[in-house]
Each structure stands twice: as structure tokens, then as C-alpha cells.
Structure 1
Amino acid sequence: MKGSNISPVPALATKFLKLAGIIVILFTIINSVLLLYPLNLGDIDWRLSFTTQIIERGILPILGIALMFCGYGFEEILGIAPPEAKVSWNSLKFWIYLLSLFLGIMFLLLIPLHISTAVAESNQNVQKLNEEAVIAQKQLEERLGERQSSLASLLKNNQRLEEYISQEQLNEEQLAELEKFKNNPAALKVRTEEIREELTKQLEQKKQKAQQSTQITAVKSSVRIGLTSLLLASCYLTIGWSGFTGKPRKVRQ
């Protein structure tokens, strides 16, 4: 079939497919470059966000390449353009294959970068949680110490104790506890220690739960983004390698 007998509609369709593919690829490249600004490689959150977004958008160039080669394939089927015997450097296909190889290598390198960054962020969050737990424990000790001193002073003054009871409207259990503390000051210290142990245990459980959550998040992110990047790398490397090493298809006479 000769190219002169081809309907203009299929011919235009092949051009539109290639144009759409080029636009998708350029759109992705431009947006990926813009992700670099403002550049802040020393910030863990920035690196994690950058690698995540780059990998999550990695499928778009594949779609662009697929559209372009659909256009090339239809051109060969329609006889508009013969199959190339060899891909030359001044051919658009050459640069697409080269871009594919570059993207394949890039996505391979992003795997350890993302995983190490996710682990670093997890360790940073764990350290922050430990620091917050130390501060919370210190504040707890201060509050309990102040309360113990205040109650001890209150129990020594009957007038203030009566005023406190009338103002707070204590129930029978609380009144009995105050009476116990008044008759046995050591019981106040014992009760304070019990409260300290209980609240410290709650703080520790809360800290461990938060640490487990941040570690699980890091593992999930490493597995999901790492596998996605590996799949993208294998796809791009296959496209690039096949383009430069594949044998040209023979045309039937």
C-alpha cells in the first residue's frame, strides 16, 4: 500500500499520537525539574517528598513513549513510513531510547536513596519522640512533686483543709483518702509513687505505640516506593535496551 493512497484521517491520527506522546514526556520532565526547587538536599523531609513524587509520576513517560510508538507502528502499517534499518542519533527514536535508559538507571538509583531517607526520617521521628517523652516525664515529676507538697502543707492546716473540702465538694472516697493522708503522712508519699508509676507506664506505652507507627510507615513507604521504582526501572531499561540492540523487522515483499 502506497502512502499516497492513505486517507488523511489515519495519517493525522499517527501524528497526533506522536505529538501527544511528546507532550506527556515533556510535561513530566518539566514538572520533575520544578520539584527540585527550592533545592534542599540536607532536609530529610524534602528528600523523601522528592523521591516519592518522582517515582509516583514515573509511569507518565512510559505512557508518552507508548503513544509515540503507537504512532510509529501505525505509520508502518499504513505504509506512510518504512521501518528504520538502524536507529541513528538524529532520529527522535534514538533520543527516546536514550531517555529510557537514563530513566531506568535513575529509578534504580532512587531505590536505595528513598529507602535510606525513609529510614533516616523514621530514626529522626523516634529520636524526637524520645525527647518529647523525657520532657513529658520531667513535667509529670514536677506536677506530682508540687501536688504532694501542696497536699502535705494543706493537711497540716485544719482551717485550710476545711476550706479546701468545702470548695472542691469531694466525695466520700476522696474524703476518706484525705483523712488517711492526715493520719499517716507516709501514705501520701506511697500514693504519689503509685500515681507516678501509673502515669509513667502510660507515657511509655504511648511512646512505644508512636515509635511502632513511624517505623511501620517507613517500612511501608520503602516497600511500596521501592518496588514501584524497580518496576519502572525494569520497564525503561527494557525499552532502551531493546531499541538499541533489537533487530529491525523484515518487510514482506
Structure 2
Amino acid sequence: MKISSSFISLCLTLVGGILLISSLIDYLFLLFPLQFQDQNWQITITNSLVDRGIVPLMAISLLLIAWWINDNNSNQKTGQIIRLPVFIIASILGLIFLLLVPLHLSNINSVSSDLMAQITEKVGQQQAQIQGFVAQLDAIAKNPEQLKQEIAQRNQVIEAGGVIQGQKLEPQQLELITSQRDQLQQMLDLSQKPEALKAKLQEVEVRLQNELKEVENKEINKAKTIALKQSLRTSISSLMLSIAYIVIGWLGLQMILIKSKKATE
């Protein structure tokens, strides 16, 4: 059976129209509930719109192919009515995707700045905790009797083979207790040497601060990398879609305008 050009044109028009209408309906449902004041919502919506942006473009392309087949068959005059609305939709989508580029970049920068502020605040809290921990160590080190009690308690557990109240500890727990005993013993020894104790506490504080700074740098670099990827991927895709839609829409409207002028002459 020979497949006619009219049948192909009809199928392409049907598939393209269904794809275009369903994608526009999907866009409408995607927007609700509206939360324009929420920048995270705006970023999510922008990503979703751009990720789905190829579907209407494919639909319009199918319609263009169908119309091309139709125009090359002098016996077919169908599909003329829907051309103007489709080109208008393409132009509107092109404008929307173009406006999404600066909006998305602005939202990403704002959210990234907020995240940086949260990281800085979190690091400040942890620095205060480190200072409090060092001060607590200093207070404990200045109380030799308390240190001796703590050391004695751990020695009892170690000498008993890790048995506490009839229950045997795991090897990791016994290793932790042994490490704590050694650290407490070191502090007890240093308690007799104020200068050495002060130097040791400063060493501990510097080490903890350096570790915290390293974690802070990793978190900041991770946040910057994610923000850069988000902004580039979505913005470039949105810009490409905008160019495609605008070219199709404006050229299509221009051709319709030219045909209208010729028809009136």
C-alpha cells in the first residue's frame, strides 16, 4: 500500500498538535501552587521548564514538516488556521526562556550567598565550641585530683579486660578508653608544668581550628561548584531554546505577514 503525502502530513500534524498542547498543559500544572516569593521554588520551576523545553520545540518542528509537505502538495490546503497561533506560541516561549536566563542567574547567586552565610555562621558556632572545649580542658588540667580519678576509673576497666558491671566492651570501645586514659595522663603530667600545658592547649586549639578551616573550605568549594553547574547548565540550555523558539516564531510570523500582504494586493 502506498502511503500518501496527505496521510503523512495528517499524522505529523496530529502528533505535533498533541505534543504541543500536552506540553503547555504540563507547564501550567507545573506552576501551581504559585510561590513567586520563594527563590528555591523559582529555581526548581526554571530547571523543570528548561528540562521540558525540548518537547514543545519538537512538536512545533513536526507541525512545520507537516505544513511543508502540505504546501508542496497543491491539492492540500489544510492546516492554515493553526499556523498563526503556533508561531505566536513559539515567540512567547522564546521570550520566556530568554527572560529565565537572568532570572535564574540572579536566583542562583542569591541562594549561593545565603548558603555561604549559613556556612560562615555554622563555622563561627563550631569555633566557639572549640574554644569552650579548650577552656574545659584547661579547667580539668588545673584539677589534678579529678584527673587522677578519671585515670583510675579507666585503669580499672582496662585492667579488668574491658569488663564493666559484668558486661564486656567491644574492642573499639576498649581502645577508645585506653586512648582517653593516655590523654588524661598526659594532661596530668602537664599540669605540673604550666608553660608546657599552655603550649599543649594552644596546639590542640590550632589543630582543631585548622581542621575546621579545611572543612569550611571544602563546603564553600562544593557550594560554589554546584552553583556554577546549576547556573551554566540551565542558563545555556534556556538561551539555546530561546534562540530556537524566537527564530521559528518570528520567521513564521514574518512569512504569514508577507503572504497576507500579497493576498491583499
TM-score, normalised relative to structure 1: 0.83
Q: State the 4+ residue runs in structure 1 displaced beyond 6 angstroms.
A: none
CA-CA distance at 1:33 after TM superposition: 1.3
How many residues are aligned here? Answer: 237
Q: Describe the shift of the 1:117–1:131 C-alpha distance in structure 2 as closer, same or farther (beyond 3 A).
A: same
Q: Does 1:70 align with 2:65?
A: yes
1:39-84 Cα deviation digits (max 9, x unpaired): 1122221111111111121111110001112212222334442599
Report the equivalent of 1:117: 107
Structure 2: distance between partners of 1:76 and 1:21: 17
Structure 2: stretches of 5+ with no match in the other structure: 157-176, 260-265
Report the equivalent of 2:83: 93
Report the equivalent of 2:214: 205
TM-score, normalised relative to structure 2: 0.79
Q: Does 1:224 align with 2:233?
A: yes
Structure 1: distance between partners of 2:192 and 2:98: 73
Sequence identity percentage: 23
Structure 2: distance between partners of 1:163 and 1:29: 75
Structure 2: distance between partners of 1:161 and 1:181: 16
Checking the alignment, whether the CA contact within 8 Å between 1:129 and 1:207 is kept in structure 2 is yes
CA-CA distance at 1:198 after TM superposition: 1.0
Structure 1: stretches of 5+ with no match in the other structure: 1-6, 249-253
Report the equivalent of 2:152: 163
Structure 1: distance between partners of 2:185 and 2:132: 26
CA-CA distance at 1:30 after TM superposition: 1.3
1:84-116 Cα deviation digits (max 9, x unpaired): 9xx7xxx20000111111111111111000000
1:174-229 Cα deviation digits (max 9, x unpaired): 58734531321332232111111111111112112211221222222222211111
Structure 1: distance between partners of 2:38 and 2:126: 27
CA-CA distance at 1:169 after TM superposition: 3.8
Checking the alignment, whether the CA contact within 8 Å between 2:138 and 2:201 is kept in structure 1 is yes
What is the aligned-residue RMSD (CA, Å)? Answer: 2.7
Checking the alignment, whether the CA contact within 8 Å between 1:180 and 1:187 is kept in structure 2 is no
